[in-house]
Every structure is written in C-alpha cells, then in structure tokens.
Structure 1
Amino acid sequence: MTENNRRYDEWVNLQVTIARQLGALRNVIELYPPQPPLFKGGSFNLSKEQQTTITPPPEEGEHTITPPLSERGQGGEINRLLQEKYTQLQKHLAPESHEILETWQEKKARYAAPEYVYKVRDREVRVKTHTTSLSHNQIPKISLPRYQDWGDILRWNLQENVPGEFPYTAGVFPFKRENEDPTRMFAGEGNPERTNKRFHYVSLGMPAKRLSTAFDSVTLYGEDPGYRPDIYGKIGNSGVSVCCLDDAKKLYSGFNLCEPNVSVSMTINGPAATVTAFFLNAAIDQQCELYIQQHGLEETVKARIAEIYAAKNQKPPQYNAHELPEGNNGLGLMLLGITGEQVLPQHIYLQIKKHTLQQVRGTVQADILKEDQAQNTCIFSTEFSLRLMGDMQQYFIQHDVRNFYSVSISGYHIAEAGANPITQLAFTLANGFTYVEYYLSRGMKIDDFAPNLSFFFSNGIDPEYAVIGRVARRIWAKAMKLKYGADERSQKLKYHIQTSGRSLHAQEIGFNDIRTTLQALYAIYDNCNSLHTNAYDEAITTPTEESVRRAMAIQLIINHELGLAKNQNPLQGSFIIEELTDLVEEAVLMEFDRITERGGVLGAMETMYQRGKIQEESLYYETLKHDGKLPIIGVNTFLSSDGSPTIIPQEVIRSTADEKEQQIHTLQELHRAHAQTAQRHLQHLQQVSIANGNLFEALMEAVKYCSLGQISHALYQVGGQYRRNM
C-alpha cells in the first residue's frame, strides 16, 4: 500500500518538474518570435497616431533592454532551438497531465459561471456556484487557486483538486447537498418507544431524517434481556434495548425507511448481521404496510392478525406508550408480531422486498477488527465474524443493496480508547484495506463492494484533526485507483464524524460546548459527510433534551450563520493545512509499514500490537493532563473560585424498571408465539453455517421468529465464541 501511494507521489513530483520546465520554455519562446520584427519608420508596424507617442531612442551611453538589430535577427534560430527542446520535453508529460493543463482555464470558467452542472448516477444536478452575503458580495462555494506556474497548477490538480475529483482531498462530491445539513444525532436509551420519541424530537422539522442508534450493552453483546444479575441492570442503559424484529419496528416507526431523505446508522458490531436483518425486515414490512393502505386492505389484515393470535391464545404486540410522539404517524406498527408475507401474496411480498432493499439507506458499523483492537464488544471468533461480514456483503451484492453500507470502518472507538489522531487514522484505514483484501479473496469484485464501505472518525482538538478527512480521502483514493483499479464510486471515501467524547470533562461542563464547537468546525471545514455533535453533559449523564438541542444548534449555527461556511473548500490554499496534510499522510504511511512488518493487521493483532500502542498513547495523554503540561481549561488550569469541582448531576438518566419489564415481556411473548418455528430456523441457520452457505440469507428469515440471544447462542455452537489472545 505504501509503495503504491509513494510511487504516485514520486510520479507527481516528476510531472510537476516537467510541467514547470515546459512553462518556463514557453515564456522564453514568447520572447523570441520566429521572425525578427519589421521596422517601418522606427515603429513595430504602428499607426501614425501610435508612432507619435513612441519614446525617443536613448542617448548614447544610456542602458536599454532592446537588443541590437544584429542580435534581433537571431530570434528565429533561438526560437527553433527552444521549440525543439519544448517538443522533446513534452513527450515526457503524461496525457492526463497534458489534459489538466489544457483544460485548466475551462475548469475555472465552469466554477466562475453562475451555475454548475454535473451528473449523479445519470441524474443531472444544477447548483448555484455563489451565495450572496449581507454586504451583497458574491461568495464562491468553491474557490480555485490563482496559480500561473504550470507546475503549481498540475500539483494542485494531482494532489488536491476540486471536491468531487480525484484524489478527492477536498471532498468526494462536487457540492454539498442543498437544503440538507450533515446532522446525524446519536440516540439510544431505555426501550424502543423511548428512543423512538428521542429520534422524532431531534429530527422534527429537519428536511433530512438522519438517525444514529446507540444500543445497550446487552444488545451489543448479542444477549436477550432477562433477570440474570449481570444483564437486568444493563437493560436499556446507555443505549436502547433491541432483542427482536418488533423492537426494530417500534424503534424506527414513523420514519419511512425507503424515503431518500431518511437514513439510519446503527452502532453495533458483534451481532451486527442479526441486527441488520432486524432493520431490513422492519423496512420491508413498512413498505408492505403502505401497500396494504394503498389497496384498502387494512380491515382484512387486522382480521388476519387477530386470527393468528387467537390461535396462539395471545394478544398481538403493542407500542408501549400512551400516545405516539409528535411526528410519528404510526408507520411500521400495523404488522407488529407478524411479517408482510403472512398477509400478502408471495409475489407481491417479494416485489416489495426487492424494491425495499434497493432503496433503504444507512449503515451498520460491523467493524470487528476495531472491536478487538479497542472497544471489546466481540462475541464470535474473529474468523467467524469476518465470515458474517462477508456473507452480508455478498447478500448486498446479489440483491443490489447500494444505499445501505455493510460496514462503517471506525476510528472513533480507537481514539476514545486513547489513540492519537495519527494512530486512529492509520489503524482505521489499515482495517479498511484488510476488509478489501478479505472480500476480494472471496471472489467479490472491487466495484461491487467498495462503494458499500463507509468510515467513522473522531474529531478532537489536536492540529492533525483539522486534516483527518483530507488525508483519509487522499490515501484511500490513490490505493483504490492505482492498486485495485477501482472505479470513481469506489475511490470515494465517505465518512461520519463524531466530536470527541474523551474531550468532555465532568468539571466546568459548560466549557464542553466550546470544545465541541471547535471540533465541529474542523469537521465541517474538512467536508465530512455527516456529523454528530456531543452534548455538554455527556461526561456525567445521558444527554437531556435541552443539552441535545444545544448540541444540534452548534452545527446548525455553523452551517447557517457562519459566513465562511458558505464556502465549501475553505481549507484549501492554507500553508499550514497543506503542511499538516503532507505530515499526517507520511506518518500514516509509516504506520502502515510498521503493521506490514508484523504480518499485516491480523498478524499485528495476534501480538496485541494495536492495543498496546493505543494504551501507551492513552497513558501519555493522561500523564500530561494530570501533571498540567497539557492545559485543559477548567480542569487543570483556569479553575473557578471553588476549584472547578466535578459536577454531580441531580438526576442520572437511566432506563426505568417498567421499561426493563416491558422488554422482558416482549421477549417472553415472542418465544411463546414462535417456540417450534424458532427452533427450526435456528437449526437451519446452523446447517447453513456448516455447509458454508450464506448465513445472512438465512438470518433474514430467522429474525422473523427468533430473538437476538437465541440466534447468538445458536451461532456460538458452529462459529465459536470470542477469546482474546493473551
């Protein structure tokens, strides 16, 4: 990987040298025209009016830059020699470099025009290129450099370029979406109904509904809610409890998961495939519900549901709340307890399923390598987890799932565990390339899966965070294009940013918003694709509605009020940004070399190289913080008159006993309703695993009748449980 990218950089330097020499030669050639100038009455073919204004010749002894006539006569010979040199040198300029220089003025003109036109998947997009300030100035959305030197122009295009063009240093899309902020707020607490209410609160009135889901530790470890002492207290705490398909339906109810302005992110790794199957089936049943409404089948379906549950001697599941939250129209709740295929003809259901899988948007984290290195929510063996990831991606390819990403390769938790920004970026990209190699080894084609990979980074306050997106996009694009021969869509690294949780402190918690604002500025100026801003009180409790509103306001104020944010490439052209970009890129490549020396990512994991490095960097940070060498305002310096004590919250938000009991009751009713059917599907799941079939295909059916814990324990028997290398 490093050889590939460094070879490109060397090629760029060579091309820049050639272009610079060609530009210099061109300038000299213009000084020596092929024919000597013709004199008529002491003028260069000037009119009588022009001749009268010619400065008289200098007096004898005065200095003049005009060569003697005899020397001027040699202009043709000099021009010929220069032209020969120019032609010889031009042969060493690559065709793509020649095209860049030839079309540079045309490119500048396109961005200077009032409207810019480009295509996205054969759809024409028209964007106004300027915004108008209160002072009536036209502020360009994309600013281009004013370079004259051919070498500078070429280097900028080959290493920087405009957003949307290789190597995508400034961004992967030509312009940001109109009327849509990159806001994606993280939420999860209690039961699905409670988190659904928070989702509707944070997205109410927003043109785009970008939901980001936090799961409780019971769900993260693939277990079901229950009375076991190490489980009961964790149900619905620090995340939402989701144990079955009905929970997913309730969680995302009221959001049409196939609308282009709705996308869902799910932060879950060990049981990611199972939870993704919950989500996709919830989306499919939503569309079945819409079909039922459009064809006036509501009463027929209600009667069918009543008949099914009467036969089981049970009541149909319900949404556990006195009323639906504001903004929730009830979509997704009609088919609780059953699936669309139980009430619709098979061919109709399959049509709806196909359409849904092609339309649904979002991502699941599913980054098992990062879990081993940093966050620890591994449940299956690493090999089996990789297989599940591969099966899910294979299913996505077969069913044309293009808008839902099968993995969010995550640096955030690496940073939260203590890594500095260089290590976060290097480990994350290395993990990404490992997934690429694994999928290729399974016979998948690079352009079939690479567009379904996304990334997730933390933004702290360190200077390197200002360029983390620039460097990530550049390294990824070079490798995808030059090493793997991938197409443009595969070359585009898309990523989500969450401001640093580790930078939030329990002392002077009001100052946390200031830190978050600075981190959000880094992210927005660096053209992140989506952004979560942390709430100031997260150091002491789950965020309240008030603190979440403030956190959302941070990025809304930047996007809508801050004038410079109207420009979409404000970092380009800054000396320090260019210097930082080169420094960070080289540091990441050096870390790649160290990982390669240890046998690659998986080889390094066997000796716990990544964990050890993260722990060392965490200790270094904590040492500097505690001895005061790293100033943190309100924590170790600039203390208040009472010493800036740790804030003790009046109330710590946790799930209630009622919410825990509701989740356990939901699980018990599910097991009771599908006792025999669930066992058949669990056995089939194990048989598919043993026969090396596609497990995700089987999971898509199993989750209709089985709980998360049932599926996890069935897979342990064929895939093994996680055990850390010591």
Structure 2
Amino acid sequence: MTKNPVRIVTAASLFDGHDASINIIRRMLQEFGAEVIHLGHNRSVNDVVKAVLQEGAQGVCISSYQGGHMEYFKYLRDLLNQAGASHVKIYGGGGGVIVYDEKRELEAYGISQIFHPDDGRRLGLEGMIKMIVEGCDFAMPSKLAAESKNIFAGDNIPSTELGIALTAIENGQKDVKPEDFGLKNFIRKGDAPKILGITGTGGAGKSSLIDELSQRFLNAYPEQKIAIVCVDPSKRKTGGSLLGDRIRMNSLSRPHIFMRSVASRGSGKEIAGSLPDILNFLKKCDFDFIIAETSGIGQGNMAITDVSDLSMYVMTSDFGAQSQLEKIDMIDFADFVAVNKADRRGALDAVRDVTKQYKRSRKIWDDKVHVPVFLTQASQFNDGGVNNLFFSVADKLHELKSLPQVPKAYRETVLSADEHTVIPPDRQNYLAEIVSTIHKYKDRVKTMSEKASKIGALENLKTDLGLSPEVVTKKRNEFSEGFTTEELQSLEKWDELKRIYSQDELVFKVRDKEIRQSMVTKSLSGTKIRKIVLPSYKDWGDRFTFLKMENVAGEFPYTAGVFQLKRADEDPKRMFAGEGTPERTNRRFHYLCKGEKAHRLSTAFDSVTLYGQDPDLRPDIYGKVGESGVSICCLDDMKKLYEGFDLVNLNTSVSMTINGPAPMILAFYFNTAIDQQVVKKETELGRKLTDVEWKQLATATMSQVRGTVQADILKEDQGQNTCIFSINFALKMMGDIQQFFIDKNIRNFYSVSISGYHIAEAGANPISQLAFTLSNGFTFAEYYLSRGMKIDDFAPNLSFFFSNGLDPEYTVLGRVARRIWAVAMRDLYKGNDRSQKLKYHIQTSGRSLHAQEIDFNDIRTTLQALIALNDNCNSLHTNAYDEAITTPTQESVRRAMAIQMIINREFGASKNENQNQGSFFVEELTDLVEEAVLAEFKRISERGGVLGAMETQYQRSKIQEESMYYEHLKHSGELPIIGVNTFIDPKTLEKGYEPPKIELARASTEEKNHQLKQIEIVQKANHTQADIEIKNLKAACLSGHNIFEALMTAARYCTLYQMSQALYEVGGQYRRNL
C-alpha cells in the first residue's frame, strides 16, 4: 500500500502509435495501487502537461519509440517547471531506441528515470513499476511555486492551481476555498453555474458524447468556460484505478475547458465521496457550465440527480425486453435521454420504446408532445442527433438563465453530416457466412474424396474383377454423382498434370503474355532439382483432396501460391528506405537499386508525416522531423524522393507505408508520376500540352503505375494507431480512392495493403494477426459492395501485408490466408480468379529484434525470411539487425538484403518452390491454424462484425492481453530468447555495463531546418491558390463528392497539414481508445 494516493499520467509521445509497452505499464501501475490517467498514443507535450496539472498527478510515464526523444523529454521537463510543477516525476522508455549516452543526458536534465532494456532485465517489470510508484508516493504541494506561469496561450484557466486545490479536496481537506490556492482572480462573480449530470450504463458512450457536446459548447460559446468532472471506480483489491475518460476527449486540447478525473476510492457508489465537495468548489470558480459524469450504473442507480441541476441518461438499444425500461429509475428522473450508438440494430425501435416509457412515467398521454429523448451516434462526426441534443440542453440552460441563447449564426451553420452506413444491417453476419462457406467447402471435399477413391478403385480393378462395361458404367455414374465435369476431368488428367510439371520447361500465360521458365536446376553434384514436385498418390481420393485443398501454385484454392512459378527475373525483395530529407532517402534508393533490374521501392515516412502534420519549430514536433522515416510535406518533396526513377516502367513499383494521411500522400505520388510523364512528353513534342492532352496523359499514367499504398484504417484503430480522422470519414475516403481507381482504370496499383504486421507488432499472436487481418479485408469488401462497386472491379486492387516470426503458425500463415480468401471469394462473393488471388507482402518481425546482443537479430531474421520464402510470399522485407536501436544504416540494410539473396541464390533447397507441400506437419498445421482463424471469425461475428467488435474494443483488448502474456513469459524466462533471458553474455549483467556504441542514423539539424524552409517556400508561393483549393476540398466533402478527386487537385498547391486541417473540420478527428 502507498502512503499517499498516487496519481500517474501515462502516454505515448507525439506522433508515436507504439502503445503496447505503455499499455502494459499502465495496467501494472493500477495493480500496484496507482490511479492512472491514461492518455493513449500520439500525445503532445502540451496534452501531457495539461493533464498532469489538471489531474494533480505526481508522475508521468512516457514511451517514445519514434525518435525525437531528446527534444520531447526536455520540453516536457521545461514546461512542467514553468507551470510550477517541478515536483512532478518523469519516467520514460523507448526500448533500445534511447541509447545510454542519451539516457544519461536526459536524467541529468531532470528526468527521473529512462528505462533501458537492460534495466528491464535487471529489475524485471515489477521492479520497474515498484520504482515508479515509490518515486511518486509523496504528498502534493499545497501551494503553487512562486516562479510558475500560465503556459497555455489563449487559455485563462489556471490549471495548476485548480489541480492542487482539487487534490486537497479529494484527499479529505475540508472548507477548501479558491483564494487559499491562488485563485482569487478566478472566483465566480455572478450566479453559480449549472451542473449537468450525465450517467448511464457502462459502454454506452458517455465520454464520447460528453466530448461531442463540449465541442459544440466551445463552438457556440467561444468565450464560455467549461469544467468536466468524471468518476471512475477504484479497484477494491488494490486501490488502483483506470481513469479512462480523458483519452476520449479531443476537446481538451482547446482553450476554455478543464477536466478532472476522480476515482471512487471505496465510496461503493457510482459517484465518489468527494464529488459533492469538488462540484461545490468548482461552482465558486469562474466557470460558466459544469458537467459531472458518473461511472457506469445499473437500473436502480440515480445518485447523479443529488449533485446536479439537470441530468442526462445515456443508454443504448441493448436493454433487453421493453419491460426492462420500467425498472430504470433514471428514465423517470432524467431531463434528457440519449439512446446512443444509433447504428446498432434495433436503435429506432429502442428510441420509440424509451420515448413511450419517458411519457408514461410523467403521465404524458398526448402522442404529439415532443419529449427530450434523442437518438445519437457520438462516433459519427457532426451527428444530427447529437446536434439536436446539444440545442435542447443549451436552450434549457438559457431558460434557466445560466447561459445566453445559442447564437443564430451558429445554429444556421450546423449542418448534420450524411450518415455513412459502412456495413448494412442485413450484411452484419458476413463473417459467420464466410465460416459457413468454408466449412461447407471442406465438408464437400471430404465427402467427394471418398467417392473419388471409389472411382479410382473401380478404374484400377475393373479388369481384374472381370466387370462388364455396363456394370462399370453404372457404378461409375453412381460414384460420379455430385462431381462437376471439371473435377472429373482433373482426376482423369492427373497423370498429364504430373507429366507437365516433370518437363524441363513450363509454358504458361500471365495476362495473355506467354511465359517460358525452366523447371530444373542442377546441383554441383549433378542432381536434378525440380522446381515443382507433385505427390505420387495412387488413390484418387488423395488426388482429389490435394487438388481441392492444395493444388499447384496458380490454381484454385491457391494454397501453394497465386502464381504458377516465382519470377525468374525478379527476387521478391524490396528496397527499403526512409530517413531525413527526400534527397537523402532518394540517394539511399539509388544505392539499393544499383545493379538491379527491378526497382521495388518501399518507403518509410517520418512520424510527423504519418500523422498528417507539417514540420514545425515546436520542440516535440521538431525533434521528430526526418526521424525513423523521410519527411514529406508537399508535392515537391515527393518529386525529389523518386527523382531518377521512371514511375511507369514495368520494373518499377513503389510501396508507401502510410495510413492516416494516405489519401493526401497518394495524391502527391500520382501527381509526381503524372508530372514526370508530362515533362517527358513536352520535351519530346517541344511544346506545352493542351488541357485535353494533359488529362489523357494523366489517366494513362495512373493506369500504368505499379505499387501499393497501405491506407488500412481498420488496423490503425486496432493496432498501429496512426488513424487521424474519424473512422467513418476515413473509411469514406478509402472508398472514394477505390472508386477513383475503378473510374480511371487503375489496375496495377493496390489501393490498400490490408495489414497484419502492425497488429502483430502491437502484441498479437499469429492466429489473431491473421484472423483480424482477413476479417478486416472482408469488411472492406462488404463496404465497397454496399457502395455499389462490383467485386471483380475492386478485389484485384486489394493486397495484404503480414508480419513473420518464429512461432510455428508463421510457417503456414500465407497458405491459410490464400485458401480462406479464395474459397470465400469464389463461393460466397462469386468473384473471378483475379479476385480469388490473395497477394501479400511480408516483413520479418520487428518485435523479435532485441537491443541486447543485436548481432543475434540477423539469425532470427534469416529464419523468418526462409519461412516466408518457402510459403511463396509475393514480396519480402528483411529487417536490419540494428532497428531495435536506430533507423537502419547503410551497412545494416545491405546485410538485411543479403539474407534474402543468400536464401534465393545460394541455399540449395530454395531451387524447389513447393517445399511445404507433402509435409504431414505442414498439412496438419494448416488445418489447425485455419480452424483457429475461423473460430476467431465467429467470435468477431458474435460482436456485430469487425466494426461492432471495434466498438467494444475487442481486438485492442485481445492484442493487449496477448502482448502481456508474451512479456510475462519473456521476463520470467519461460519463453527462451537467446541473449535476452538465456545464454546471456555474463559481462552484460555486470554493474555499469553498457553495450558497444553503434552508428546511429539520425536526421541532422540542417536536414530538419531544410524541411522547415521548404514548408515556408511552398506556402508562400501557393498562398492564393491553396486557399481556393482548401475551400473546394471542403465543399467536395460536404456535398458528398469524391474526396480523392478533390485531393488530386489540392495536392498540387497545398501542404500536407493544410489538407489534414481542412479535412478535420469537415470530417472530424480520430478519437482514441484504451
């Protein structure tokens, strides 16, 4: 037990979505009795400092894995000191990314502890948590430090003083007066503000609704000040608490709003014992409106009405039978009722039933009387139901003379957004249908293989048994019932199939182009090594099972691969680069492509770009510019990035690892390719192109470019956390991109890379990675179908991206994915053979790269690469051994590429391309993994499909649990990791040991300043036209037109953040989840 109530703020740093470790830390802090205010990923120093001050926290824990940590932690220390919070302890960690020299420098600057992986090995997770909790176990100061100042520009709410005062109240101090805590200039002069009490069932979306209402209050009353107090329960066993409301509140980054999270601390009720005193104190302060929220309640709870002037009950349609409404006390007493999550099945019926109960409880028998029961969807940006609820609350407050009337101008500008139904209600069981389809397929294969065995036996024994032709024909017809003509022919042509693959050369067609490839290589010993070896099955049932469950590569169900043979002229390796400025990354690309015919460029962007921002001088942004990726903020940057590469060349493809701002980055890229061809054409003609010629060339260019943009928004919410727009709006833009691809006949570029890699990096095991990724893919398919697209028009534009690892399931990950996709696409969605082919990129596991004994990382990567190549991946990226510490250096990247080259060109067994087929182990593992994935599909389906499961945080919770399990096994030693928890070099355990220094690839100050200058030049040059294009972009969004089409024009004149900002205003920002 702690001596004092310990409150700690936890977060991942700005532009950093790696929240797996901080989630583990915040969970363990709760178990050790701390009250944790979790802010989640991508948090600016301002966000963190405001939370620390308002929440009265003694400490803050920050994870930082994306570089820029020196600037971030120092800026955090500086702002806390300036705000009078020098007493606040700062703890941080970033795996091996923060090296020892930097750790020492930060700790000397006033950071309490930077945890290095070696600290974790010596102390263990529990030892680290104990150090943090003990360090924060001190009484908060009762007065503000004299040297403090307000650090939040344009905000006159004294957060530090209020935080200290509310801590005193929470800790039991009586008769707390504002003037005693330096608040004499923040005392209310008129009537006390009114309190709106909000309560409801757990998971009803109270926090999101409060955030949406707060945004509207701040928009309608820009000078009014709001205070929010949210109660969460304390754990009886440990005393710890997860104060999880703040993470949902995007409005808190704005001025004129204050929030305090309160733990119940054993009150036994949905409100904390200190809540009445806290609210009374805030009423004396200069706030204009106060919101108090309780923790989730049951049917008989209504304590909020005792501490509020107005009350609101938030619920969903999941209340059971209509008679259950009669038991809910709050319906009888609430001034407003919000039936939230309007997209759920039965929501319209629910609001009707609640309205009836509301009227019955008040004896209102007139059907025409309007009552304040609202159907809302807080997750929908600018939702009409939330707008109506806001106006109703504001009008009531005006009636009570608490707030002025909502300005007429504001009422007229509020236009409710169009409702975007992603998955229609009648299609919400799509995953269950897929499971049924695949089981039906497998059951039929089993049944028909038994019949095939009988046909084969009949053919083999008809002569020996002396059967007459009539009997043979009759029996054959009997056994053949249920087979298709094609299936019978494939059985009869088995020997012909074997003959074809036993030849020295195979002739086949790809997109009407005849391909000839040698089928044999000779070893140094003269042994003939065949590329494809087919089984020597005699039984027709075994042959049938092979053809239906495996088959040769390039044939349904594509278990062995989607192409008949690997390309002889191109290895599946990618040239991966991304560091500093576009010019520096361009040099790395040319270095990697030297001597290579195929240029498969894979681009990593810095975290500033990944979050749709432009470079800036502010320290927490500046430190990230050009770190862990390339800085791209405008069209000119993109042109410099790919200078010297012919982007329409058949041997050039470009992969861009970006998600949240993917539409803008893709617009930069397409314009780069177009301008490249325009320059070439105008040089050739010796004149400028006409408008008609330009448009024709632009369309032709886009139909030729090859590559992939990641753009997977579903996995961003579940795992990687670089979604920057509201989910529905982000999905709308994805759909608009795909529609643009269809309209412009863009067939060689993948509109999305449906990604499991980042789900795995967040902590998921291989089964969850595969299940979540495939289910996301089917969700995109359902969404595009609901928009009227045809399956064969978009399915070939979908690609996948998986992580590889050393778990046994990774051996068959590709096989299982291809088979599930193919069967579902053919039998359920009726897609053609191109739609049935699942093509995927794979990357060796970043999570398996350890900062300890980094030379061992290449051994792990080699094994993972071998597994991936044996499973016929379509492209492969091998991680550099030093990526646990730094952006890859030129030397480490060369070694990583050599891994693939050695496997492909030196490793003798790789001359065969179907090594996995025929292995009893691989066959059994394929079936086991497939069934495990289908079982996960069922669990997701039971939660309303992928989007329904996301709403309840099912995927995120499962990923976090699996991450915790892995970390526990790693730290306990039950999961052996060589060089980390076993076979440890003894000298690394000695006190004071530091690992050898390695070359660090970091962006220089000159490179960062270069990008700042670039922004200035572009904005100055395009100022007038950019304003016009931003207006056009917003208009396209509000009118329902294709947003990507508008972005294609805007990208020619606007910077990345100019476009992001415009889209935030019309589409909404992403709301974080726990």
Q: TM-score, normalised by structure 2?
A: 0.59
1:705 aligns with 2:1050: no
Amino acid at match of 1:374: G
Offset at residue 227 of structure 1 (A) = 1.3
Tell me the residue number matched to 2:727: 382
CA contact (8 A) 2:508 2:515 kept: yes
Offset at residue 142 of structure 1 (A) = 1.2
Alignment of 1:211-250 (within 5 A): 211-250=601-640
Higher relative contact order (CA 8 A, sep 6+): 1
CA distance in 1 between counterparts of 2:481 and 2:904 reads: 47
Give the SS at the match of 1:642. helix
CA contact (8 A) 1:170 1:526 kept: yes
CA contact (8 A) 2:988 2:995 kept: no
1:290 aligns with 2:696: no
Give the SS at the match of 1:31. coil
Question: Structure 2 residue aligned with 1:352, among 697, 704, 708?
Answer: 697
1:584 aligns with 2:929: yes
Structure 1 residues 181-212: Cα deviation after superposition (integer angstroms, max 9, x where no partner): 10113321111111111111111111211111
CA contact (8 A) 2:726 2:1067 kept: yes
Give the SS at the match of 1:714. helix
Offset at residue 137 of structure 1 (A) = 2.5
CA distance in 2 between counterparts of 1:665 and 1:643 reads: 45
Question: Structure 1 residue aligned with 2:459, among 22, 26, 46?
Answer: 26
Question: Structure 1 residue aligned with 2:592, among 194, 202, 208?
Answer: 202
Tell me the residue number matched to 1:573: 918
Report which of the two has the higher share of strand. 2
Question: Structure 2 residue aligned with 1:183, among 573, 580, 593?
Answer: 573
Tell me the residue number matched to 1:661: 1009
CA distance in 1 between counterparts of 2:462 and 2:738 reads: 58
CA contact (8 A) 1:131 1:566 kept: yes
CA distance in 2 between counterparts of 1:633 and 1:379 reads: 38
Tell me the residue number matched to 1:300: none
CA contact (8 A) 2:841 2:873 kept: yes
Question: Structure 1 residue aligned with 2:1042, among 694, 697, 712?
Answer: 694
Amino acid at match of 2:1016: Q
Q: Mark the CA change 1:633 to 1:725 in structure 2 (over 3 Å): closer, same or farther.
A: closer
Tell me the residue number matched to 2:247: none
Amino acid at match of 1:124: E
Structure 1 residues 53-93: Cα deviation after superposition (integer angstroms, max 9, x where no partner): xxxxxxxxxxxxxxxxxxxxxxx6xx865653333222233
Give the SS at the match of 2:493. helix
Tell me the residue number matched to 1:44: none
1:635 aligns with 2:980: yes
CA distance in 2 between counterparts of 1:110 and 1:636 reads: 51
CA distance in 2 between counterparts of 1:228 and 1:648 reads: 33
Amino acid at match of 2:1057: G
Offset at residue 640 of structure 1 (A) = 1.7
Structure 1 residues 224-249: Cα deviation after superposition (integer angstroms, max 9, x where no partner): 11112321111111111100000000
CA distance in 2 between counterparts of 1:181 and 1:479 reads: 30
Question: Structure 1 residue aligned with 2:831, among 486, 511, 515?
Answer: 486
Give the SS at the match of 2:1054. coil
Alignment of 1:477-516 (within 5 A): 477-516=822-861
Alignment of 1:533-572 (within 5 A): 533-572=878-917
1:269 aligns with 2:614: no
1:470 aligns with 2:811: no
CA contact (8 A) 2:575 2:599 kept: no
Tell me the residue number matched to 1:437: 782
CA distance in 2 between counterparts of 1:238 and 1:148 reads: 56
Give the SS at the match of 2:483. coil
1:721 aligns with 2:1069: yes
Amino acid at match of 1:523: A
Give the SS at the match of 2:848. coil
CA contact (8 A) 1:508 1:646 kept: no
Q: Mark the CA change 1:646 to 1:451 in structure 2 (over 3 Å): closer, same or farther.
A: farther
1:407 aligns with 2:752: yes
Tell me the residue number matched to 2:518: 128
Q: Mark the CA change 1:80 to 1:449 in structure 2 (over 3 Å): closer, same or farther.
A: closer
Q: TM-score, normalised by structure 1?
A: 0.86
Tell me the residue number matched to 2:943: 598
CA contact (8 A) 1:397 1:448 kept: yes
CA contact (8 A) 1:509 1:647 kept: no
Give the SS at the match of 2:555. coil
Question: Structure 1 residue aligned with 2:554, among 146, 149, 164?
Answer: 164
Amino acid at match of 2:1072: R
CA distance in 1 between counterparts of 2:460 and 2:682 reads: 73
Offset at residue 344 of structure 1 (A) = 3.0
C-alpha RMSD of matched pairs (Å): 1.4
CA contact (8 A) 1:540 1:649 kept: no
Tell me the residue number matched to 1:260: 650
CA distance in 1 between counterparts of 2:683 and 2:753 reads: 35
Report the count of equivalent residues. 638
CA contact (8 A) 1:496 1:530 kept: yes
Give the SS at the match of 2:742. helix
Offset at residue 664 of structure 1 (A) = 1.0
CA distance in 1 between counterparts of 2:631 and 2:598 reads: 25
Question: Structure 2 residue aligned with 1:193, among 583, 604, 619?
Answer: 583
CA contact (8 A) 2:889 2:1000 kept: no
Q: Mark the CA change 1:648 to 1:613 in structure 2 (over 3 Å): closer, same or farther.
A: farther
Q: Which moved more, 1:367-376 or 1:79-88?
A: 79-88
Amino acid at match of 2:509: K
CA contact (8 A) 1:185 1:531 kept: no
CA contact (8 A) 1:185 1:533 kept: no
Identity %: 62
CA distance in 1 between counterparts of 2:823 and 2:1072 reads: 34
Give the SS at the match of 1:127. strand
CA contact (8 A) 1:495 1:528 kept: yes
Tell me the residue number matched to 1:6: 439
CA contact (8 A) 2:988 2:994 kept: no
Amino acid at match of 2:512: D
Give the SS at the match of 2:745. coil
CA distance in 1 between counterparts of 2:480 and 2:715 reads: 48
Structure 1 residues 694-721: Cα deviation after superposition (integer angstroms, max 9, x where no partner): 0111111110000100000001111011
Amino acid at match of 1:213: T
CA distance in 1 between counterparts of 2:1051 and 2:472 reads: 75
Give the SS at the match of 1:344. coil
CA contact (8 A) 1:370 1:411 kept: yes
CA distance in 1 between counterparts of 2:612 and 2:780 reads: 22
Structure 1 residues 350-397: Cα deviation after superposition (integer angstroms, max 9, x where no partner): 222122111101000000000000111111000000000000000000
Offset at residue 124 of structure 1 (A) = 1.3
Question: Structure 1 residue aligned with 2:1018, among 670, 673, 679?
Answer: 670
Structure 1 residues 101-155: Cα deviation after superposition (integer angstroms, max 9, x where no partner): 0121111111122221111111111112212222223211111111010000000
Give the SS at the match of 1:538. helix
1:88 aligns with 2:521: no
CA contact (8 A) 2:585 2:641 kept: yes
Amino acid at match of 1:657: T
Tell me the residue number matched to 2:1033: 685
CA distance in 2 between counterparts of 1:513 and 1:88 reads: 58
Amino acid at match of 1:126: R
Structure 1 residues 674-702: Cα deviation after superposition (integer angstroms, max 9, x where no partner): 11100111100111111100011111111
Q: Structure 2: which 5+ residue stretches go unaligned?
A: 1-433
Tell me the residue number matched to 2:502: 112
Give the SS at the match of 1:172. coil
Question: Structure 2 residue aligned with 1:460, among 802, 805, 824?
Answer: 805
Offset at residue 646 of structure 1 (A) = 6.4
